[in-house]
Copies of this chain bind each other. A is one copy, B any other.
Amino acid sequence: MIHHVVSWTLREDLDRSASIDRIRELLTGLVGTVEAIRSLEVVENVAYPGKNQDVAVVATFDDLVGLDAYQVHPDHQAAAAEIRGLVTSRAAIDWER
Nearest Cβ in chain B — how far from A42, in angstroms?
A: 10
Whether the pair B2, A93 counts as a contact (CB closer than 8 A) is no
Q: How far is it, in angstroms, between the C-alpha of A64 and the C-alpha of B47 when the chains are bound? A: 7
Report chain B residues within 8 Å CB of A45.
Answer: 93-95
Q: CB distance A67 to B92 under 8 Å?
A: no
Whether a CB of chain B sits under 8 angstroms from the CB of A7 is: yes
A91 contacts B91, C-beta separation under 8 Å = yes
User: A56 contacts which chain B residues (CB < 8 A)?
Assistant: 5, 93, 95
Quick one: CB contact mask for A69-97 with B, threshold 8 Å, 1 for yes?
00000000000000000000101111111
Which residues on the B side are within 8 Å of A51 (C-beta)?
A: 92
Contact pattern, A 52-74, Cβ under 8 Å of B = 1, otherwise 0: 11011010000010010000000
